[in-house]
């Protein structure tokens, strides 16, 4: 089992901040320096920092939170009186963490939970490791107040959805991110996968591409099916292609990995595609590798579009054009919805859908002259 508990750093990793009453009036150099550093980080006065650290009234809640955040950023341990008592544990179950979009989403969710006084517990699935059901049991055994699932079995149309109904019957609130099932009575948080494909195709068509391929994961997953629907519709509307042509010639399924993207892109290049839209940034990096193995330049000979806008993806060679998944909004919505459920206000069986954004960088360009990728 890969289990990580995301909580505040212990005293072994933070410098103690020993604040005395009216700390600002102390003349010792280190304390004065620390107050100045914290004030600068929080964007407030040293007097305000002193009031917060000494638990004095008259400070706005947002200002107080800014000072506490500055303590955390600068690596100081919070004084005992300011340590927030945990409202309880909240489980977060994610797939493997090799794809950087999952740690990014986990960070947003973890921070949002911590701000509300909850302690997030990250449970990660790994190949050959604990299953989602086993991780769920582990979290329930530890008395979590609720669970957030990211890209779990709820996204797999072949999976048994009764597992979630059994969890609800046990009184455990939960929210499901990335994937939708009409069989599960729970709130869902998703990006608009269909709109994402429209954004990508529109961008590539504007650059003169008419032979555009789509590389994505196994068809049984809901986000994959939605991306296909959006891609087919966009290719029909903008290029006049038939659904049959798009589905049989321009879509390639593989794995959500660099190697999977490489294999899918290689197949699409053989079909004379001048641009490839990928269902993840990791797959897009694999597509770039496939192009280079065939002595093709990105973007001169072939354009590549990713999906997610993962951390550091802007610094690849070339910087990747991608569809930005609205991770901050999705993560915060997942936490807000779960806490409403925990507080006794169940969310309806509904899906909250968030609009993605096209981020144009250096991996897309005008379509090459005829024959350059043939």
CATH (domain of 59): 1.10.260.40
Both structure tokens of 19: 């604040």
- Domain-terminating residue out of 82, 107, 122: 82
Do 332 and 236 share a structural domain? no
Q: Is residue 374 part of a domain?
A: no
**Cα–Cα distance for residue pair 198/307, rounded to 1 Å:** 13
Do 172 and 94 share a structural domain? yes
The domain in which residue 25 lies consists of 2-82
Q: Is residue 359 part of a domain?
A: no
- Domain-terminating residue out of 82, 111, 142: 82
Q: Is residue 310 part of a domain?
A: yes
Do 105 and 61 share a structural domain? no
The count of domains in the chain is: 3
362 and 299 Cβ atoms separated by less than 8 Å:
yes
**Cα–Cα distance for residue pair 337/371, rounded to 1 Å:** 52
Q: Is residue 296 part of a domain?
A: yes
Give residue-wise pLDDT tens across range 125-184. Answer: 877 788 999 999 999 999 999 999 999 999 999 999 999 999 999 999 999 999 999 999
Which of 29-38, 147-156, 271-280 comes out lowest in average pLDDT? 29-38
Q: Is residue 369 part of a domain?
A: no
Confidence of residue 339 (pLDDT cuts 50, 70, 90): very high
Q: Is residue 202 part of a domain?
A: yes
Q: What is the CATH number of the domain that holds 219?
A: 3.40.50.2300
Do 206 and 101 share a structural domain? no
Q: What is the dihedral of CA 356, 360, 361, 364, to 10 degrees?
A: 110
Give the pLDDT of residue 229.
98
Do 63 and 171 share a structural domain? no
Do 280 and 198 share a structural domain? yes
Do 164 and 57 share a structural domain? no
Do 156 and 256 share a structural domain? no
Give residue-wise pLDDT tens across range 185-227. Answer: 999 999 999 999 999 999 999 999 999 999 999 999 999 999 9
């Amino acid at each position: 089992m890969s289990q990580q508990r995301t909580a505040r750093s212990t005293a072994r990793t933070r410098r103690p901040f020993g604040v005395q009453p009216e700390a600002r009036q102390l003349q010792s150099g280190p304390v004065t320096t620390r107050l100045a550093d914290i004030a600068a980080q929080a964007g407030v006065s040293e007097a305000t920092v002193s009031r917060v650290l000494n638990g004095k009234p008259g400070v706005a809640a947002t200002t107080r939170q800014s000072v506490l955040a500055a303590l955390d950023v600068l690596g100081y341990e919070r004084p005992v009186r300011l340590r927030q008592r945990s409202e309880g544990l909240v489980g977060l179950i994610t797939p493997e963490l090799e794809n950087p979009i999952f740690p990014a989403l986990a960070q947003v969710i973890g921070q949002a939970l911590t701000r509300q006084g909850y302690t997030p517990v990250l449970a990660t699935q790994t190949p050959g490791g604990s299953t989602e059901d086993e991780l769920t049991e582990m979290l329930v055994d530890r008395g979590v107040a609720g669970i957030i699932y990211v890209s779990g079995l709820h996204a797999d149309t072949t999976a048994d959805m009764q597992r979630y109904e059994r969890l609800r019957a046990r009184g455990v609130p939960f929210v499901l991110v990335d994937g939708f099932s009409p069989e599960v009575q729970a709130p869902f948080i998703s990006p608009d996968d269909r709109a994402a494909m429209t954004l990508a195709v529109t961008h590539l068509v504007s650059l003169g591409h008419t032979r555009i391929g789509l590389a994505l994961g196994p068809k049984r997953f809901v986000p994959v099916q939605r991306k296909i629907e959006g891609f087919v519709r966009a290719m029909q509307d903008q290029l006049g292609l038939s659904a049959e042509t798009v589905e049989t010639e321009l879509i390639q399924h593989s794995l959500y990995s660099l190697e999977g993207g490489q294999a899918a892109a290689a197949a699409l290049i053989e079909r004379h595609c001048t641009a490839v839209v990928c269902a993840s940034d990791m797959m897009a990096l694999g597509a770039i590798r496939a192009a280079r193995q065939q002595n093709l330049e990105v973007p001169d000979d072939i354009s590549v579009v990713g999906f997610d806008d993962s951390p550091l993806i802007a610094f690849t060679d070339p910087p990747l054009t991608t569809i930005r998944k609205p991770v901050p909004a999705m993560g915060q919505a997942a936490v807000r919805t779960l806490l409403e459920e925990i507080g006794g206000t169940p969310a309806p069986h509904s899906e909250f859908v968030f609009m993605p954004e096209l981020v144009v960088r250096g991996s897309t360009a005008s379509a090459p002259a005829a024959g350059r990728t043939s």
